[in-house]
Chains A and B, each alone.
Chain A
Amino acid sequence: MTDQLYQDRIVALAKAKTGAGKLATPTKSARRDNPLCGDRVVVDVKLDEGGKIAEIAHQVRGCLLCQASASALASVAVGRDAAGIEKVRLDAERAIGREEGEAGEPFAAFAPVKAHKSRHECVLLPFEALKEALS
């Protein structure tokens, strides 16, 4: 084997399945597809009066990277509004080398994806779905 894309931390995030599933009464919901690979993410959110995320759930039909990203995102999303989620996205983009700077946790775990450009969208797809749900 030549490289270690699927390091334990990424696999663990995917297996944790934080937030996997549906919300019974979501405030908003959005679905995003990646037409290239067919990955699909549905995100449900329940918002409080201030527009902050009170509950989040996601259904991922996609690869391990997409599952891990959705799981990581769900683990830090509660209490954030759209601007707060953009900060998390910056971490994800830093981890995969799209932005300068050091990525914060838990997205620092995605650093091995940096070298695999064709997989960057897998990490970002849950963010795209959540952004739409919050818009």
Chain B
Amino acid sequence: MAGAEQSMSFDVAAVRRQFPILSQIIDGQPVHYLDNGASAQTPDAVLDAVRTYETTSRANVLRGVHRLAERATEAYENARIEVANFLSVDPMEVVFTGGCTAAINLVAYSYGSLLKPGDRIILSELEHHSNIVPWQLLRQRSGIEIDVVPVTVNGRIDLNALPRLLTSRTKLISLAHVSNVTGTLVDVHAVVTLAKTVGAKVMLDGAQRVPHGPVDLSAMGIDFYAFAGHKAYGPNGIGVLWAKAEHLEAMPPFHGGGSMIGRVTFTETTWAPPPRRFEAGTPPIGPAIGLGAACRWMRTLDWKEAHAHEMALVERLMDGLQKIDGATLFGPGSTQNRYPVVSFLLEGVHPHDVAQTLDSFGVAVRAGHHCCQPLMDRFDLDGTTRVSIAPYNDNTDIDALLTGVQHAARTLR
């Protein structure tokens, strides 16, 4: 088990040096960036890849015969291969989207259009709004039903409650791979095993899992996976949908336009094969190339070490919070089966005031409902203060945070 000390073999300083933003001084203070769950920072490797594209290869993709267009297309398709390697899947199953939200909406619209009135899908109580609202829109469009798996007091999806929600009409179970509020990891094997008993598909929202190292989707037995580039050290405006080839093949397009067609006439248009079928119009080329570089960069880290480092910081944080009068964790109190996202409450002080106080100590965190209002309602919370950690965080970040929380506890109540 990891102790509260930073791992000796993980060179956090070397990682930090690759992130130019972290060496900034703002108002005389270093940047203690602990809001990685909202958006992570980006390393030189990504900035360089985007700059190289913009300065040596900028052109549209798939449409030109000139050399820059050839280079752009190659760089874009190489990015798809980088993402596929990161996920251990076939590149032809990787669809670039505008983000994680866009990827989930694509599935809800396109796969959703294959569902019939009375078909059921299962979500959990801890889902991000982006894994709730697209399904509610589908419910309005086509009369599907939504069932909700509850969450345990420790902030885990209660899989014991899943079997009784399964019916022969259950077509899809869509869950957060890792919670953006409590950091809890869902038991994918258990979900897939249960889903199989009724022939339901499984989708995971990987937004909070992907920033913590490669994911072997080929071994998981799931059907759909979504994540966002900006939370995974890549640029904004890019995300990924992975789906099994057979599903993509069966799905109608979401958006119509250029690049996604076979042949267009005014009487009939045929669709391009996946993944292009789902990439209508000019895609976000630079951001895709940046995301490819981010996936490659993530694969350069030793994630066993990086994860141990992240979880040692979680322990340091949890130990420190325990010593602050009125501070309580929301979510699991252990580091087992979880990732480095930690929510806490400070009795008598609103989360926004905690976060604002922390900002004055140079510490960036997120406070509020984290786009998880149903989860907040379930526990009757106004919100939480959330600390989300990346491999470049170190003990000084956690210690600055704890000092700030102590200050808030002393002065604001």
Binding site for B on A (CB under 8 A): 1-6, 11, 37-39, 61-65, 116, 119, 122
CB distance from B358 to the nearest CB of A (A): 10
Q: Which residues of A contact B28 (CB under 8 A)?
A: 2
**Inside 8 A of A62's CB, which chain B residues have their CB?**
350, 352, 382
Complex-state Cα separation, A5 to B412, whole angstroms: 11
Extra pairs beyond A3-B360, A5-B356 (15, CB < 8 Å):
A2-B28, A2-B29, A2-B361, A2-B362, A6-B356, A11-B412, A38-B373, A38-B376, A38-B382, A61-B382, A62-B350, A64-B412, A65-B353, A116-B356, A122-B352
Known: A38-B368, A38-B369. Is A2-B412 also a contact (CB below 8 A)?
no
Known interface pairs A37-B352, A62-B382; A1-B361 also in contact (CB < 8 Å): yes
Residues of A within 8 A of B361 (CB): 1-2
Q: What residues of A have a CB within 8 angstroms of the CB of B369 in the complex?
A: 38
Q: 1/0 contact trace for B347-385 toward A, CB 8 Å?
A: 001111100110011100000110001001000001100
Can you name 25 A-B residue pairings with CB atoms under 8 Å?
A1-B360, A1-B407, A2-B27, A2-B361, A2-B362, A3-B360, A6-B353, A6-B356, A6-B412, A11-B411, A11-B412, A37-B352, A37-B368, A38-B369, A38-B373, A38-B382, A38-B383, A39-B352, A61-B382, A62-B352, A63-B353, A64-B353, A64-B412, A116-B356, A119-B352
CA distance A5 to B357 in the complex (A): 8
Q: Chain A CB within 10 Å — which of B350, B360, B407 has the most? A: B350
CA distance A39 to B376 in the complex (A): 13
Task: Please give the distance in Å from B383's CB to the nearest CB on chain A.
Answer: 6
Binding site for A on B (CB under 8 A): 27-29, 349-353, 356-357, 360-362, 368-369, 373, 376, 382-383, 407, 411-412
Q: Nearest chain B CB to A9's CB is how many angstroms away?
A: 13
Q: Which of A5, A37, A38, A122 contacts B360 (CB 8 A)?
A: A5
Distance between Cα atoms of A6 and B357 in the complex (Å): 8
The answer to whether B411 and A6 touch across the interface, beta carbons within 8 angstroms, is yes
Tell me the complex Cα distance, A116–B359, Å. Answer: 11
Distance from B354 Cβ to chain A, minimum over Cβ atoms (Å): 9
CB closest residue in chain A, given B381 = A38
Looking across the interface, which residue of chain B has its beta carbon closest to that of A38? B369
How distant is A131 from chain B, measured CB to nearest CB, in Å? 23
Contact A2 B350 (CB under 8 A): no
Beta-carbon nearest neighbor of B368 in chain A: A37
The CA-CA distance from A62 to B381 in the complex, in Å, is 11
> Which of chain A's residues have a CB closer than 8 A to the CB of B350?
62-64
